[in-house]
Amino acid sequence: MSTLEKTETKESQKTTAASQLTGSQAVLEALIHEGVDTVFGYPGGAIMPIYDALYDYNDRLKHILVRHEQGGIHAAQGYARTSGRVGVAFATSGPGATNLVTGLADAMIDSNPIVCITGQVFASLLGTDAFQETDVINITSPVTKWSYQVTEASEIPTALAKAFYVASTGRPGPVLIDITKNAQIELFDYLGYEKCTHIRSYRPAPIVRKEYIEKAAEVINSAKKPFVLFGQGIILGKAEQEFRSFIEKGGFPSATTVMGLSALETDHPLHVGMLGMHGNYAPNVMTNECDVLIAVGMRFDDRVTGRLDKYAKQAKVIHLDIDPAEIDKNVKTTVPVWGDCKETLPLLTELIKKGDHADWLQQFRDLEKEEIKEVIQDELHPKGDILTMGEVVNVLNELTGGNAIITTDVGQHQMIACRYAKFNQSKSNVTSGGLGTMGFGLPAAIGAWYGAPDRDVVAIIGDGGFQMTLQELGTIMQFGAKVKILILNNQFLGMVRQWQQLFNDKRYSFVNITSPDFVAVAKGYYIDGNKVSERKDLREALETMLNHDSSYLLEVMVGKENNVFPMVAQGTSVSEIRLK
């Protein structure tokens, strides 16, 4: 309680005069004042008062009844990722709350702004092993940016104001507010909703220090072979334009992380591809060739760096990040530039020389040609009869023009989609990057559509991951999210199978997964669908899927034992990336 009282707010934002509200009404008032239009949730005993109040707010708040709380929070993540706003999920106590945990962990590692509201047993029953009681605050503490248990109705406005502020500012993250049932029911004197603008113990962004920027510019200006790595920080900071100006002025070849995809359009002349284990050949190799490495809004995940003691050792490293804990966490920095990149990038752009590194950029293009020859050509235009995942994504690109939102699940299809999907605009790639959560793709697509209902949303999902959360077809059926589901079925848990093939002597241990008739399953949910396994049918089938006026499921049978290459094998250096 004491910390909530210290939350400072602006007087001018007071909205209504004192009136009596229940805690539940105060929750919904808070959501409306925070501009929330869609909530993903699932009711249950301990959150019933909030659902009762929701009955009267139906005209102002859209509630999407998911089929499992994990689906609810993944949908909220999808919503946050495509809308740039806070995603909200409701769940009841006990199992409802524990079902959120995977999504919280996913949102935490991928920095998604999420507010979860969970019901809790009456405050008087806390600690008594009451029905559906679970200690959700402690269970979720490592996977939330902040969490708080409300036990009195009067705490609700300040707790939620703080929740939205913490979730959406600085490096975003998930916040969980656990509200005991008595607090939902109690009446209290509601003094209006005041948005939170400052918490004394919380610094959303470090203070920008000019001297660091000057030093960084100096290092960049001395570079012969500068190389920019960009991550989701660009998207979260809404700094796409600032980033483009920066790399264009300097003429820097720029490569993206999985999470940074779509921050810069795929076709940009300075975009040299994706980093990491299954990223492109050139950016991985050139990481160990460049003289100055400029990392913007990315966190040097182990899947990006490969073996750390052989990572960019020759380079001076400039790291721009809003989170001070990221600086020097994995890769030692020559000059750290702390701060919001929306603020720091323009300052840096002003100080750097106009540059043209055509010869250097050409080296990337030369390596790219090698990758096209060794990998991409066969993946996108295979000679054999069997369809590849890459060619499906390629035809999809041609049909969407790169304007669609692509959500993916996790595994081979994810890497193929990230490698080959074309993105023309930001906030178009929704994938579980850090946590690698199978089952993410379908519910995330539902949320992605609610976050950007005017855009095409294609959920590319494998046959394994789809079976983890396919119950969300029920959500699509009931509420009509226009999600196009593209299942790339290789009849295997493909990524694990690939590793077993490459590293475990092809000992295929429990990666052979059988599937139901997915089209029939969709039909059971009154969702139209089709299945293709031949090249001649592919384009038309994809066209039909995209042009369908509601949700649609297309299953494409692809090669069973195709591998994703290039690959930086675990424990090797990025420059040891293998093309086959």
Partner 1 sequence: MEKQEFTITIYTENSIGMIGRISNIFSRRKINIESLNTSPSEVEGIHRFTILISEGEEVVRKLCRQIEKQVEVLKAYFNTNEELIWQEQALYKVPADVVNEKVYVERLLRQYGANVVVIRPDYIVFETAGHREEIDRLTQELTKYGLIEFVRGARIAIIKDSAGFHAKLKQFEREEPAPDIVENEFLDQQDQVFTM
- Name the residue nearer to partner 1 (CB basis): 324 or 355: 324
Catalytic residue of the set 274, 495, 545, 567: 495
Residue 207 DSSP code: P
Q: What end-to-end distance do the CA atoms of the chain give, in Å?
A: 58
| Rounded CA separation 372/365 (Å) | 10
Find the shortest distance in angstroms from Cβ 481 to partner 1.
33
**CA 554 to chain CA centroid, nearest Å:** 24
Helix (H, G, I), strand (E, B) or coil at 578: strand
Instruction: Reply yes or no on whether 69 is catalytic.
Output: yes
Quick one: which of 341, 407, 320 has its CA closest to 106? 407
List CB contacts of 244: < 8 A, sequence separation 6 or more: 264, 268
Find the shortest distance in angstroms from Cβ 107 to partner 1.
15
Catalytic residue of the set 145, 181, 427, 484: 181
- Name the residue nearer to partner 1 (CB basis): 88 or 108: 108
Catalytic residue of the set 6, 10, 14, 131: 131
Which amino acid type is present at position 186? E
Alpha helices in 222-326 (DSSP H): 233-236, 240-250, 281-287, 302-305
Catalytic residue of the set 69, 194, 371, 555: 69
| Rounded CA separation 492/490 (Å) | 5
| Rounded CA separation 248/187 (Å) | 57
Instruction: Reply yes or no on whether 181 is catalytic.
Output: yes
- Name the residue nearer to partner 1 (CB basis): 215 or 307: 215
- Say if CB 558 and CB 387 are below 8 A apart: yes
Which residues would be at the binding site for partner 1 (CB under 8 A)?
A: 2-3, 6, 137-138, 141-142, 145-147, 149, 166, 198-203, 206-207, 209, 211, 215, 313, 316-317, 323-325, 327-329, 332-336
Helix (H, G, I), strand (E, B) or coil at 264: coil
Q: Residue 81 corresponds to which tokens in the numbers above?
A: 């990722």
- Name the residue nearer to partner 1 (CB basis): 20 or 201: 201
- Say if CB 98 and CB 68 are below 8 A apart: no
Instruction: Reply yes or no on whether 536 is catalytic.
Output: no
Find the shortest distance in angstroms from Cβ 206 to partner 1.
8
- Name the residue nearer to partner 1 (CB basis): 166 or 487: 166
Residue 373 DSSP code: I
Nearest-10 Cα torsion for 377, 298, 166, 143: 80
Residue 573 DSSP code: B
Q: Residue 505 corresponds to which tokens in the numbers above?
A: 């002597």
- Name the residue nearer to partner 1 (CB basis): 337 or 522: 337
- Name the residue nearer to partner 1 (CB basis): 39 or 331: 331
Find the shortest distance in angstroms from Cβ 86 to partner 1.
16
DSSP string for residues in 374-407: IIIHHHHS-SSSS--HHHHHHHHHHHHTT-SEEE
| Rounded CA separation 430/440 (Å) | 9
Q: Residue 456 corresponds to which tokens in the numbers above?
A: 């095409």
Residue 372 DSSP code: I
Neighbours of 96 (CB within 10 A): 25
Find the shortest distance in angstroms from Cβ 321 to partner 1.
11
Find the shortest distance in angstroms from Cβ 185 to partner 1.
22
- Name the residue nearer to partner 1 (CB basis): 195 or 209: 209
- Identify any residues that bridge with 117 across adjacent strands, giving them in sequence order: 90, 177
Find the shortest distance in angstroms from Cβ 322 to partner 1.
11
Catalytic residue of the set 132, 425, 471, 478: 132
Q: State the catalytic residues.
A: 69, 131-132, 181, 495
